[in-house]
Amino acid sequence: MTDTVIEISGVSKSYGGVVANHNISLKVPSGGITGLIGPNGSGKTTLFNSIVGYHPVDEGSIKFKGEEISTYRVPQIARLGLLRTFQQTRIYSNMNCIDNMLISIPHRKLGFADMFKNRGDKETMEEVDRLLDFVGLYEKRRLISGDLSFGQQKLLEFAMALMNRPEVLLLDEPTAGINPTLINGLIDRLRRANEELGITLFVIEHNMRVIMNMAQSIYCLAHGELLAHGTPDEVQNDQRVIDAYLGAH
């Protein structure tokens, strides 16, 4: 049995009058790719936001490698090695790609004095080049990131996340808005990040083909509650999941 890297128990979160998450419990096993699916408005991004510290939860506990993080703040959680990407890609748009990468080094590994050293020492630059090449942005590395195309910005955001050497990466709809011909390339890189770099992935996806092929285990949310859980085959054939997507409720 693999270790559980994220354990969520009984988490509920409401905004105003809307119950976004209700009594959700799930486990993300270490080392694999876990999917989170569900129709729009089922509370997936809210759950991600709760995990990484964007807002407090109303009830429940969230544990990262056994440590209770539900009261921690965003930078604290990031420094533990739990990162997320955003639904709307966020990068540092006035800096070039190299600088975006350089600032994404894991700050938990830096001492105070290290912040005052040269921004790009040899070792770091090699890693930057390697990761930019991994996502196919090496040629564009000196461009201002705000000038990149949408798909390229998504890749940059992904590369920045890798640069931060997370243990677990929460990906919020990584293929959204990507040209279908480029999706396979992205999937391939996600898989390689998981297998070669050992990063556990927890992925929100709407693209069923993508998530069913990538993930070993899938959770399905609907109306803020956990609807189903299992292997891709099990979940795909679960009548409740099918109904939820087709709006039978």
Partner 1 sequence: MWDNISILTAAPVFNIQLILDGLFIGSTFALAAYGLALVWGVMNVKNLAQGDFVIMGGYIAWWLGKQGIHPLWGLPISIVVMFTFGWLVYVTIIRRVIDKDMFTSLLATFGLAIVLAQALNLMFGPEVQTAESDFAIRSYFDNSVTVADIKLVAFALCGVLAVVVVLFMKNSRMGQAIRATAQDARAARVMGIDTDKVYAFTFSLNAAICGAAGALISMIWVIQPFYGIGHSIRSFVIVTAAGFGNLGGVIMAGLGLGVMEQYGGFVLGAEYQQACVVGLLVAVLIYRQLEMRRHRQVVQ
Partner 2 sequence: MESFNPKLHLPILIFGIGAPFVIPGVTIQIAVLWVMVLFALTWDIMGGQMGYNSLGNILFFGSGMYISALVQISMFANVSEYTASSGAVDFTYTNSEYFWGLGWGILAAGIGSALLAASLGWTLFGLRGPYFAIGTLGIALTAGELMGTWEWVGAGGGLAMPVYPGSADGKSFMFYFMCFFAAIGTYLFCSWLYSTRFGLAINAIRDDEQKAEAMGIHTLRYKTIAWSVSAFFLGISGALFGNMTGFVEPLEVAFPVATFGIFMVAMSLLGGKGTLWGPILGAALFHVLKEFTWTYFLGWQWVALGVLIIVNVVFFQQGIMGWLMEKFPERFGIIVDKKETAK
54 binds partner 1 (CB under 8 A): yes
User: 10, 67, 68, 74: which one contacts partner 1 (CB under 8 A)?
Assistant: 74
Judged by beta carbon, residue 54 or residue 245, the one nearer partner 1 is 54
Select 177 or 198, whichever has its Cβ closest to partner 1.
Answer: 177
Number of residues this chain uses to bind partner 2 (CB under 8 A): 39
What track of x and - describes contact with partner 2 for positions 151 through 190 (by CB under 8 A)?
A: ---------x---x--------------------------
Using CA atoms, how far residue 181 sits from 133, 184, 186, in Å, is 19, 7, 10
Nearest to 215 by CA among 200, 226, 237, 227: 200
> Residues with Cβ < 8 Å from 54, sequence gap 6 or more?
74
Cα 107 to Cα 110, 154, 159, 224, 243, distances in angstroms: 5, 22, 16, 34, 45
Q: Segment near partner 2 (CB under 8 A), from 22-30, 143-151, 210-218, 241-249?
A: 143-151
Give, in degrees to the nearest 5, the angle at Cα 159 between 156 and 164.
130
3-state secondary structure of 203: strand
Q: Segment near partner 1 (CB under 8 A), from 68-76, 81-89, 177-185, 231-239?
A: 68-76
Single residue of 73, 130, 192, 240 touching partner 1 by CB under 8 A: 73
Binding partner 2 (rule: CB under 8 A), the pick from 58, 92, 127, 176 is 92
- Which among 7-15, 65-73, 132-140, 185-193 is the span making contact with partner 1, rule CB under 8 A? 65-73
One of 3, 68, 71, 179 touching partner 1 (CB under 8 A):
71
**Residue 15 structure tokens:** 């905004």
Which among 224, 218, 220 has a CA at the least distance from the CA of 243? 220
Among 55, 90, 108, 240, binds partner 1 (CB under 8 A): 55
Applying CB under 8 A, which part among 10-18, 32-40, 71-79, 173-181 lies near partner 2? 71-79
As given in the structure block, the two tokens for residue 40 are: 């729009």
Nearest to 189 by CA among 108, 133, 109: 133
Closer to partner 2 by Cβ: residue 91 or 226: 91
For residue 203, what are the β-bridge partners?
A: 35, 171
Chain centroid to Cα 38, Å, comes to 16
Radius of gyration in angstroms for the set of CA atoms belonging to the chain, rounded to a whole number: 18
Binding site residues, partner 2, CB under 8 A: 52, 74-75, 78-79, 83-84, 86, 90-96, 99, 102-108, 110, 114-119, 140, 142-144, 147-149, 160, 164
